[in-house]
C-alpha cells in the first residue's frame, strides 16, 4: 500500500479518548508529586518532558528517596525499553512524509496508547496524522498533572485511592476489544498476564524488567503459533 | 538544582529509547514472524502492565477487584477508554464506601 489516507482530523479524533484517559492518570501523578513536595511547575515539567506513566511514577519514587542519577537512568531504561519495540514496530507503518526531522519530533509522542491506536490503522500513517494524534494526549497529560498537583491536599483520600485504578481500566479497554476479534491477541494477552503473575508473586524481578520478559515471551509465542496475515490486521473501532 | 538533573536524565533516557529505533530503522521488515511479533507486542505489554497490578491499584484489594470486573465488563461491551476508566474508578469508590460502612 503506497497511499496513506489518514488525516489530521482523524488524528485529532483518535486522540480525544486517549487525552481524556490521560487526564485521570496524570491527575494521579500530579497528586503524588504534590504529596512528595514537588511544586506545581515541577510536576508539570516532568509530565511535559517525559509523557510516560510508569516511568514518571518510578522516577518520582527515586526523586523522593534521593536515589542516584545512575539508578534514575537505569530505571527509566528498564521501564521504558518497551518503547523501543513500539518505535521499531511503528517505523514499519510510516509513509514517505516522515523525513528524519519529523521522526525526531514525533518519536517523543510514542506512548503505549498512541502506539496502540496508530498501529491499529490498516493504512500507512502520515506525519499530519501522527502530530494530530499526539496533540490532545499531550495536552491532557500536561493539564491533568497541573490539576492534580494544584488539587493536592484538597481531594479526600478515598477519591485518590479510587483514581488509582483509572489507568488499568484504560489498558483493559485497549486490549479487550481486539482480543475478542483475534485469537492471537487473546493468546498474547493471556500468556503475558500469566507470566506477569509468576514474576510478581514468585520472584523479585522489578516491574519494568518483568514487563519486557512477559511481552517478549508472549508476543514471540503468539507470533510463532498464530502469525498474522498481512491483510488480517484488525481495525480498532474508535 | 538536583531536581533539574533528575528530570533531564529521566526525559533524555526516555526520549532516546523512543527516538533511536524510530529514526534509524528505515527498512521494511519482510519476516512474517517478526511482523507478527511486533503486532502482538503492544497487547502483551499492556497485559503484563495490567495483571496483577490492577488488583493493588487502590487502597483495598476488594475495591480493586470490583473495579477490575467492572472495567472488564465495560471493555467487552466495547465502551470507550474514558468510559471504562471512569466506571472502574466509580465502582472502586462505591465499594470502598460500602466497605467502610460495614463493621469489621
Please work out, in degrees rounded to the nearest 5, the angle formed at the alpha carbon of residue B73 by the alpha carbons of B71 and B74.
Answer: 65
pLDDT for the residue A79: 77
Q: Report the C-alpha gap between A140 and A24 in whole angstroms.
A: 9
Question: Which residues on B lie below 8 Å from A230 (Cβ)?
Answer: 35
Q: Which of A26, A42, A145, A169 to mutate to test the interface with B (most CBs of B within 10 A)?
A: A169
Integer angstrom CA distances of residue A230 from A86, A119, A140, B35: 18, 13, 34, 9
The verdict on a CB contact (< 8 Å) between B48 and A218 is: yes
For residue A2, pLDDT over 50 is answered with no
pLDDT for the residue A197: 96
pLDDT for the residue A168: 87
Nearest Cα to Cα of residue A112 among B7, B55, B44, B19: B44
Q: 3-class secondary structure for A159-207?
A: HHHHHCCHHHHHHHHHHHHHHHHCHHHHHHHHHHHHHHHHHHHHCCCCH
Residue A107 has its nearest CB partner, among B22, B90, B92, at B22
Write out the three cell numbers for A182.
Answer: 483475534
3-state SS assignment for residue A94: strand
3-state SS of chain B: helix, strand, coil percent to 5?
80, 0, 20
% of chain A with per-residue pLDDT over 70:
92
Do the Cβ atoms of B50 and A116 come closer than 8 Å? no
* B82 near A CB under 8 A: yes
ipTM over 0.85: yes
Nearest Cα to Cα of residue A211 among A126, A86, A60: A86
Residue B21 has its nearest CB partner, among A63, A84, A223, at A84
Q: Mean pLDDT over residues A22-48, rounded?
A: 89
Write out the three cell numbers for B57.
Answer: 491499584
pLDDT for the residue A208: 65
Q: Mean pLDDT over residues A76-92, rounded?
A: 85
Write out the three cell numbers for A46.
Answer: 516532568
pLDDT for the residue A145: 95
Do the Cβ atoms of A169 and B87 come closer than 8 Å? yes
For residue B10, pLDDT over 90 is answered with yes
User: How many of the other CB atoms lie within 10 Å of CB of A45?
Assistant: 18
Interface size, chain A vs chain B, as Cβ–Cβ contacts under 8 Å: 314
pLDDT for the residue B104: 64
Do the Cβ atoms of A130 and A106 come closer than 8 Å? yes
The verdict on a CB contact (< 8 Å) between A63 and B6 is: yes
pLDDT for the residue A153: 66
* B101 near A CB under 8 A: no
pLDDT for the residue A236: 37
Residue of A nearest to B68 (CA): A169
Q: Mean pLDDT over residues A163-168, rounded?
A: 82
Residue B58 has its nearest CB partner, among A165, A184, A196, at A165
* A49 near B CB under 8 A: yes
pLDDT tens for each residue of A128-146:
999 999 999 999 999 999 9
What do you get for the CA distance between the two ends of chain B, in Å? Answer: 48
Residue B18 has its nearest CB partner, among A108, A219, A220, at A108
Q: What is the mean pLDDT of chain B?
A: 90
For residue A200, pLDDT over 70 is answered with yes
Strand partners, A125: A94
pLDDT tens for each residue of A214-238:
888 999 999 999 998 754 444 333 3
Q: Peptide bond before B52: cis, by omega within 30 degrees of 0?
A: yes
Q: Mean pLDDT over residues B13-19, rounded?
A: 96
Q: Report the C-alpha gap between A146 and A134 in whole angstroms.
A: 18
Task: Please state the φ and ψ torsions of residue A96, each to the nearest 5 degrees.
Answer: -75, -15
Q: Mean pLDDT over residues B68-75, rounded?
A: 97
What is this structure's pTM? 0.73
pLDDT tens for each residue of A55-67:
898 888 889 888 8
Q: Report the C-alpha gap between A32 and B10 in whole angstroms.
A: 17
The verdict on a CB contact (< 8 Å) between B21 and A119 is: no
Amino acid at each position: 500500500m503506497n497511499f496513506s489516507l489518514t488525516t489530521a482530523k482523524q488524528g485529532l479524533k483518535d486522540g480525544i479518548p486517549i487525552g481524556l484517559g490521560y487526564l485521570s492518570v496524570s491527575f494521579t501523578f500530579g497528586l503524588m508529586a504534590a504529596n512528595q513536595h514537588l511544586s506545581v511547575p515541577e510536576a508539570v515539567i516532568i509530565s511535559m518532558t517525559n509523557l510516560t506513566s510508569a516511568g514518571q511514577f518510578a522516577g518520582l519514587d527515586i526523586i523522593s528517596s534521593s536515589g542516584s542519577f545512575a539508578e534514575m537512568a537505569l530505571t527509566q531504561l528498564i521501564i521504558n525499553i518497551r518503547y523501543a519495540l513500539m518505535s521499531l514496530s511503528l517505523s514499519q507503518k510510516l509513509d514517505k512524509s516522515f523525513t528524519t526531522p519529523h521522526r525526531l519530533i514525533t518519536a517523543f509522542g510514542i506512548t503505549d496508547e498512541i502506539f496502540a491506536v496508530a498501529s491499529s490503522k490498516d493504512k500507512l500513517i502520515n506525519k499530519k496524522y501522527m502530530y494530530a494524534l499526539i496533540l490532545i494526549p499531550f495536552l491532557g497529560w500536561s493539564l491533568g498533572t497541573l490539576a492534580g498537583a494544584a488539587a493536592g491536599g484538597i481531594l479526600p483520600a478515598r477519591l485518590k485511592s479510587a483514581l488509582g485504578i483509572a489507568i488499568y481500566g484504560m489498558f483493559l479497554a485497549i486490549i479487550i476489544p481486539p482480543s475478542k476479534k483475534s485469537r492471537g491477541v487473546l493468546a498474547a494477552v493471556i500468556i503475558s498476564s500469566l507470566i506477569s503473575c509468576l514474576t510478581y508473586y514468585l520472584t523479585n524481578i522489578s516491574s519494568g524488567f518483568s514487563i519486557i520478559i512477559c511481552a517478549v515471551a508472549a508476543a514471540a509465542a503468539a507470533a510463532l503459533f498464530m502469525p498474522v496475515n498481512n491483510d488480517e490486521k484488525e481495525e480498532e473501532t474508535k | 538544582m538536583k531536581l533539574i538533573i533528575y528530570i533531564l536524565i529521566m526525559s533524555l533516557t526516555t526520549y532516546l529509547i523512543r527516538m533511536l529505533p524510530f529514526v534509524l530503522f528505515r527498512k521494511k521488515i519482510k519476516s512474517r514472524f517478526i511482523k507478527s511479533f511486533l503486532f502482538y507486542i503492544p497487547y502483551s505489554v499492556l497485559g503484563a502492565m495490567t495483571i496483577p497490578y490492577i488488583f493493588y491499584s487502590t487502597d483495598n484489594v476488594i475495591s480493586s477487584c470490583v473495579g477490575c470486573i467492572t472495567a472488564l465488563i465495560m471493555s467487552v461491551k466495547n465502551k470507550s477508554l474514558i468510559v471504562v476508566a471512569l466506571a472502574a474508578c466509580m465502582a472502586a469508590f462505591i465499594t470502598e464506601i460500602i466497605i467502610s460502612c460495614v463493621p469489621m
